[in-house]
Amino acid sequence: MTDSSVAQTEVLLLMGPPGAGKGTQALKLAQARGLHKLSTGDMLRDHVKRGTDLGRQAKSIMDAGELVPDELIIAMVRAELEKQTPVRVLLDGFPRTAAQAEALDRLLSELQVSITAVVLLEVQEDELVKRLLSRAEREGRSDDNETTIRNRMQVYQRQTKPLIDYYQRSGQLRHVNGLGPVDEVLVRIAEVLP
Ligand code: AMP
């Protein structure tokens, strides 16, 4: 590709179950590649903190470990993506449903950019629960208690895991072992990216 404006765009998706280390890796990866990190979980927590309409609608859903309605999430992501020229983003925690993935495809096609790669962080379930419970002690996130954690795992299995097939079929999926020291995982991610 010779058009530099096209070559500059980059859209990375970071997927994985709750506790896989998406947030930690997203920070480092975005910094390393000069990408704007868009974490829907962080954006929602910010709305809750500021007491916006969206925050008020999202709070109880998040505390129950359920997913915030697609329309609200898609509108929030759309507003952020439309601000970017060129689009250079790392999406963390989005998409989480088939409807979100389809909306993202449409939005990116409107913006004339495509997904660079989808990174799937893989970690076994017993390790995930251990990590989330220890994060609960450290950060005190209101959705990091055992009941909610269990529900978030189920929600992931039911609603988000099918997206793995979607991106596998499109040839964009890159599997990465998420176990081990943070910087080793980061190196593994870098190795699978163009
Ligand atoms: P996270 O920080 O990514 O684990 O997200 C925390 C919570 O925010 C989730 O359990 C959901 O309630 C909500 N959330 C974050 N991203 C999304 C999304 N893409 N779609 C629906 N709900 C989301």
| Domain with 169 in it | 3-192
Cα-Cα-Cα-Cα dihedral sign, residues 39, 41, 47, 50:
negative
Query: For the chain, what is the domain count?
Result: 1
For the question of residue 141 being annotated catalytic, the response is yes
Q: How many CA atoms are closer than 13 Å to the CA of 36, on its beta-carbon side?
A: 15
With a 6 Å cutoff on the Cβ, whether 118 touches ligand 1 is: no
Distance of CA 105 to the CA centre of its chain: 15
For the question of residue 22 being annotated catalytic, the response is yes
- Helix (H/G/I), strand (E/B), else coil: 34: coil
pLDDT in tens, 1-59: 444 444 599 999 999 999 999 999 999 999 999 999 999 999 999 999 999 999 999 99
pTM: 0.92
**CATH number of the CATH domain containing 56:** 3.40.50.300
Ligand 1 pocket test, pick from 63, 68, 157 with the greatest ligand atom count within 8 Å of Cβ, gives: 68
For the question of residue 135 being annotated catalytic, the response is yes
Query: How far apart are alpha carbons 184 and 130 in whole angstroms?
Result: 20
With a 6 Å cutoff on the Cβ, whether 93 touches ligand 1 is: yes
5 Cα: distance to centroid of ligand 1 (angstroms):
32
Ligand 1 atom with minimal separation from the 95 CA: 19
Q: What angle do CA 114, 115, 116 make, to 5 degrees?
A: 110
